[in-house]
Amino acid sequence: MERSPSSGAEALTAVELSRSWSALENDARVQAYRRLRRGEAEDFFQGLSSADQGALLVALTPRERKLSLRLLAPDDVADILLEVSPAEQEELLSLLDAPTRKEVSALLAYAEDAAGGLMSPWFARVRPEATVDEAIRYLKRQATDHLETLYYGYVLDAEQRLLGVVSLRQLVTAPGDQRVSDVMKTDVIAVNEDVDQEEVARLFAEHDLVAIPVVDGEGRMKGIVTADDIVDVVEEEATEDIQKLGGMEALDAPYLRTPLFSMLKKRAGWLSALFVGELLTATAMGHYEDEISRAVVLALFVPLIISSGGNSGSQATTLVIRAMALGEIRLSDFFRVTRRELASGLALGGILGAIGFARVVIWQQLFGAYGEHHLLLALTVALSLVGVVTWGTLAGALLPFALRALRFDPASASAPFVATLVDVSGLVIYFTVAELLLRGRLL
């Protein structure tokens, strides 16, 4: 890597640069990176995210780009190319040697969020008819090339179909003249090249794997996805879900690298939709204007009622969406979740209702705030809380199921969206209970 003079500025260590990286402008990043020692620079570059690697590469000279790209496996290069413009993609591809360029181009043909887009074509291969000693010698020769991992050797036939897997430990402990086919495990967990990355991540977590082989529709092995690839996937998926739960579209780039106009577009659409939804709350309030004018005290508890329903709905939708993401809940669990959340909603509503009832009674005793019908008012607040919290809990829990059934992302059932939905229905429940209990007295 080329080095530029420090111009009297003190060079940062790799650790110091990593800590300050997010706060630096791109020019300052390039200058600081160039001042690192070669070994430090290589390790630092490999530890960056694909987005940061891409931004750094386009700012380097062609020679520096070529040296940096040589450090990476084809799947990592493919990830970087997805972060840069088409013109920059072509330029970076031209810096690769022919075999690597072919491998990277093949990976780019897959969807970015599919197993094929995550996999590395560098994996250890062994033949079933080879002896253990022959397999070990062959693996040693392969290890001199760029292998993604050497924990496992994948047993392939002449057509490159996956027959089994053998660990290095198994090879080392087996008799040298034994056939690989006698040592290998045939119950291999593999994924199709088109499987979504979330499903791949779930398999890693469920089976505690180091790597997963990727095969095509005919069982031919195309590559492996390793645990370090999945770490980035989990972070990306979690970030996307959290942003959607916040009531906005997921960002396409890190926060500080997202242009202001682009961020406004991501946020304004959902915010406008939520605002229109909240206008229905004003409509509902207008419908009960006569009741409010006859018993102004009812208006005092409106924020209490609707916020409790929104909060309970937000809790439920967050729990269910996360459980769906982890594979703990499937569409077939709809009725189990319904029963569970109905019980939870009634219990939580009962707790909040008791607190609301006590609040009205205590304030009446201390300040005489609610008049002679305060017990009926307290009962109205309590029963309304039971109803609103139960409804909010059910709505928040079941909306992700509806979205999943319609093949939408369940995370789109954002907490603000659920809260807005429950606000309107919460007012209807509150004033309906009030009419039933207070008619002829306060109303």
Using the 3D structure, point to which of 77, 109, 141 is the last residue of a domain. Answer: 109
- Mark whether 274 and 222 lie in a shared domain: no
CATH number, domain of 390, equals 1.10.357.20
In this structure, is residue 119 part of a structural domain? no
Beta bridge partners of 164: 155
- How many domains does the chain fold into? 3
Whether residue 253 has pLDDT greater than 80: no
Within-domain flag for 245 = no
What span, in angstroms and rounded, lies between the C-alpha atoms of 227 and 203? Answer: 11
Query: Is residue 116, in this structure, part of any structural domain at all?
Result: no
* Pair 104, 131 in one domain: no
Mean pLDDT of the chain: 88
- Same domain flag for 264 and 335: yes
Range of the domain at 183: 125-226
Domain membership flag for residue 99: yes
Token pair recorded at residue 120: 């590395």
Average pLDDT over residues 155-174: 93
Per-residue pLDDT of 97-119, as tens digits, reads 998 899 999 899 888 889 999 99
Is 115 inside any structural domain? no
Q: Report how far residue 341's alpha carbon sits from residue 39's, in angstroms, rounded to the nearest whole number.
A: 55
Whether residues 300 and 363 fall in one domain: yes
- pTM score, whole prediction: 0.69
Percent pLDDT > 70 in the chain is: 97
Point out the domain boundary residue: 83, 109, 135. 109
Do residue 422 and residue 321 come from a single domain? yes
Residue 236 domain-assigned?
no
pLDDT, tens only, 271-302: 888 888 888 888 888 888 888 887 889 999 99
395 lies in the same domain as 358 = yes
Can you give the CATH number for the domain in which 46 is found? 1.25.60.10
Residues 212 and 266 in one domain: no
Burial of 177 (0-12, 13-18, 19+ CB in 10 A): exposed
Residue 246 lies in a domain: no
Inter-CA distances, 136 with 149, 213, 293, Å:
15, 20, 87
**Residue 404: inside a domain:** yes
Per-residue confidence band for 183, with pLDDT thresholds at 50, 70 and 90: very high
Q: How many residues are there in the chain?
A: 443
Burial of 15 per CB tally in 10 Å (0-12, 13-18, 19+): exposed
